[in-house]
Amino acid sequence: MSHVFSQQTSLASVLVRGWMSLAALALGASAAAQTPAVPTLAPMIERISPAVVNIAVKTSISSTVQDELLRRYLEVPPEVEGAGSGVIVDATNGYILTNHHVIANADEIIITLLENRSFPARVVGSDEASDLAVLQIEATSLKSVPLGDSTKVRVGDYVVAIGNPFGFSNTVTSGIVSALGRSGLDNDAFEDFIQTDASINPGNSGGALVNLNGELVGISSAIISRTGGNVGIGFAIPVSMARAVMDQLIATGSVRRGLLGVVIQDITPEVADVLGLSGNSGALVSKVNENSAAEKAGIRIEDVIVTINGTRLRTSGSLKNAIGLLPPGEQVTVGLIRGGREQTVTATLGELAPAAVRAAAPPRVEQPPPAFDSVFEGADLVVNESSAGVPGLLVTRVDPDSAAGTSGLRPGDVITKINRVPVRTLAEAVPVVERAHGVLLEIQRAERSELIVLR
């Protein structure tokens, strides 16, 4: 009996221990299931990193007498080496997108992949105005990064920068999109930068800026820094611009840009007040070039261009980029405000000569509106009633450092309107300027009308 009880007790103990073990396993599994996964970008980075390459360049120094002296006394080497980054955008054809300044004047370009394979590269095409270049290598088993849509990028989106800062290959940093549509770093360039606080340093140039889906949204290009290191203000060229330039470089080796034929300026609050605008968006037309696409389309000075093909423009730089990314001969719909009313015209673009790439407008310097005396009666500017057949005020002297001079007014100009009001005498001009917050001058110069905003 005791023996049977003992066996039964042992069996019960085994069953209890087994049940407890199963319960412990079940509880452990449940606890594991309830533990949140640790956030990580590793899968995306592992997928994208092989498409980001190191670019090493060698540039020879010309053997002029001056260079010989530099090499002799300052130990300047006969070759200069540099490094940057690039992004494989077409694995089949071996196309790599990078910055123009990374490979400019290079005699030799070597591409090194993540797995440490190296290949010589040829320049398919390079465009200084957009700071973009396309390289090509002959290699197999390449991986490319998918192109995203930078027009859908928003301030606050998370982004990741991948490149080779200071020679440290495939360095990954993260941050957010800090701002969009940045320009003004180079007044001779086409700029529409994505600003980010993801760390970008020397060597990152030409590298990838990707979203959390692993799609390329920008090409890292520039930083603002007093020390040469990252301070949280980096800039990337939007992939929408890069794609348009890349397609032309691959097709023809160069970039042809459309030309509307206008001189434009940003809309300041003072100009908006004079023109009766509700906001500061758009580009003010201050001059229409003779026989240009704009003149043929009927665009006039004082028009405010607000859209191109239905896309709203923020600044004059936005107009410059929109037109510059379109080919010559393209028909565009130009939305503008004239006399307080919105209307559209159609223009067939001309072609911008490469040497004619210039800023849409000079940098804006915020100054209080000039007083009447300093505009017309002081030593800065002297005007007289015009007797040259054009009714208005003839400018006879301008101090080049004055508000009038820095705004572009010249001797010989005839001021025909001030803030859209026709003027023939100083007596007519005085009350117009005295009640104005800003001064907008319509002038006659070389038989053509122009608009000048006094700064």
Residues labelled as active-site residues:
101, 131, 205
User: How many other C-beta atoms are found inside a 10 Å radius of the C-beta of residue 120?
Assistant: 11
* Count of other CB atoms within 10 angstroms of residue 408: 21
What is d(CA 240, CA 263) in angstroms, rounded to the nearest whole number? 25
Separation between Cα atoms, residue 221 and residue 128, nearest integer Å: 12
| Nearest CA-CA partner of 364 in 233, 269, 222 | 269
Per-residue buried b or exposed e for 64-99, using 16+ beta carbons within 10 Å of the residue's own CB: eeeeeeeeeeeeeeeeeebbbbbbbbbbeebbbbbb
| Nearest one of 400, 256, 405, 261 to 320, comparing CA atoms | 261
Mapping DSSP onto H, E and C, the string for 28-80 reads HHHHHHHCCCCCCCHHHHHHHHHHEEEEEEEEECCCCHHHHHHHHHHCCCCEE
Query: Cα separation of 67 and 57, whole Å?
Result: 20
Structure tokens at 214: 């692993």
| DSSP structural state of residue 152 | G
Nearest to 137 by CA among 55, 26, 34: 55
Asked whether the beta carbons of 49 and 170 are under 8 A apart, the reply is yes
User: In DSSP terms, which residues pair with 414 in a beta bridge?
Assistant: 394, 444
Q: Which of 131, 242, 240 is closest to 185 using CA atoms? A: 131
Select from 130, 132, 108 the least CA-distant residue to 120: 108
Q: Please enumerate in sequence order all residues whose Cβ is within 8 A of that of 79, keeping only pairs 6 or more positions apart, or say none.
A: 58, 59, 60, 61, 107
